[in-house]
Amino acid sequence: MTVQEFRRLFPILERKVYGKNLVYLDNAATSQRPQAVLDKFVQVSRESNANIYRAVHKLSAEATDYYEQAREATRAFVNAASREEIIFTSGCTAAVNTVAYSFGEAFVGAGDEIVVSECEHHSNLVPWQLLCQRKGAALRILPIDDQGHWDLGLLKTLLGGVPSGTQAGTRSNQRVKLVAVTHISNVLGLVNPVEEVIRLCHAAGVPVLVDGAQGIVHEKVDVQAMDCDFYAFSGHKLYAPTGTGVLYGKKSWLEQMPPFLSGGEMVGTVTLEAATFAGLPHKFEAGTGNFAAVATFPEAFRTATLAREPRLASAFEATCAYLETALRGRSDLRLYGDTAPLPASVSDKYSVPYRRAGVFSFTIDGVHHEDVAQILDKMGVAVRSGLMCAEPVIRHFGREGMLRISLAPYNTMEEVEYFIKCLDKAVNMLR
Ligand SMILES: Cc1ncc(COP(=O)(O)O)c(C=O)c1O
């Protein structure tokens, strides 16, 4: 399939804004939805709209079937060992909060530690801050260097402690109870070495949550090969509707964790005094799920899989490379995050090479990011500007905000060329 053919699957890309062709370069915030996803949502809403699991009637059975087909599609998409390990949530944020609360209740106490990195989205930072405040635990930070890389030697130091085995679901006498890191930063766009982090953490008996909101979009994720304990992502960045998300968790952990939200359908028996809980995954799915939206997951995953086929994947790489070269060609522009590690002469830290995945954040001397974004908008180009819900990483580079271009496989070379021209014009207007 060519980029043009892939692009035609997304009707919104035909629209105009302010009389100009829409050039949508804000895909890391929300990707666009293909017609197949829109159709499925409408079909389930029009033909099979009834509460899932609750009733014996035909419509409820159909809606439930769609929901469970979506669960199986999700299991297969991330290669989880069983459907019990796939929890549907309202998004990545809700998935991380579920672990912060439920894992926190079961395994985190006063004096314990949680490790997050300096380049986390607020969704994988603030829930851990609140957990630590609730429990009297300490939040430890794995810093980034000026390339945007983690120092894995420092991670080893943070883990300190006595190695206590890698068995998922076993308690350890480690002070660090969990490491929560992002697969791909929504600012730096670098693919972080999460496999290596997991290996180091497991050697120290520490489980790992991976925030996959961006990672699931650009990387083929196999949770069993990765061996993460939890993997969280949103549907709306992966061609599905908003209000959908997934928490993958190893069964051995999920079984030991108390529920987060409570209410209908997550229970076994209920008396006026107490309740027992349903088995996995329902224990973590209180209330009526967003079933018509979740039902579109098979179509969304098919779209993502299509985008990874060699022809589209290499076109995407070429478009990204073209954009990066153009950005680096401006002497007044600073692009954040670098794939090359610092040379050994400058740093003796334990680092690995990085790759960039479709996300480019930068600043331009003498112009404000917000002003540039507003002018680009009037030219039909949608980009992100500001703190991007990741204030600490922006501050690391001494900035008040940045501009971000995030590409999807439906973005064409011509769109990137147009964006570069518009950027020149915008900057000239502002100087
Ligand atoms: C890396 C990362 N984590 C978490 C989130 C939160 O996702 P959501 O708002 O869909 O819950 C985002 C969204 O931008 C993100 O980029």
**Residue 233: left if φ>0, alpha if ψ -120 to 50, beta else—which one?**
beta
The pLDDT of residue 342 = 72
Say if ligand 1 is within 6 A of residue 89 CB: no
Class of CATH domain 41-300: alpha beta
pTM score above 0.75: yes
CA of 55 to the centre of ligand 1 (A): 34
18: left (phi over 0), alpha (psi -120 to 50) or beta: left
By the 10 Å C-beta count (0-12 exposed, 13-18 middle, 19+ buried), 103 is classed as buried
Nearest CA to ligand 1 atom 7: 92
Angle (CA) 209-178-136 rounded to 5° is 130
Q: How far, in Å, is the centroid of ligand 1 from the Cα of 216?
A: 11
What residue spans in the chain does CATH classification 3.40.640.10 cover? 41-300
Q: What is the pLDDT of residue 173?
A: 67
The conformation of residue 387, written as its DSSP 8-state character, comes to -
Given a contact cutoff of 8 angstroms between Cβ atoms, the answer to whether 252 and 45 are in contact is no
Residues of the chain with CATH 3.90.1150.10: 3-33+310-430
Q: Is the CB of 124 under 6 A from ligand 1?
A: yes
Measured in angstroms, how far is the CA atom of residue 425 from the centroid of ligand 1?
A: 31
Contact between 278 and 267 (Cβ < 8 Å): yes
* Annotation: CATH topology of 3-33+310-430: Aspartate Aminotransferase, domain 1 (3.90.1150)
- The response to whether residue 240 sits with its C-beta less than 6 Å from ligand 1 reads no
Low-confidence stretches of the chain (pLDDT beneath 70): 161-173, 343-349, 351
CB neighbourhood size of 50 (10 A): 15
Cβ 93 under 6 angstroms from ligand 1: yes
State the catalytic residues. 389
- Which residues have a Cβ under 8 Å from the Cβ of 359 and sit 6 or more positions away? 28, 184, 185, 186, 187, 188, 189, 214, 404, 405, 406, 407
What is the 29 CA–ligand 1 centroid distance (Å)? 8
Q: Supply the pLDDT for residue 163.
A: 46
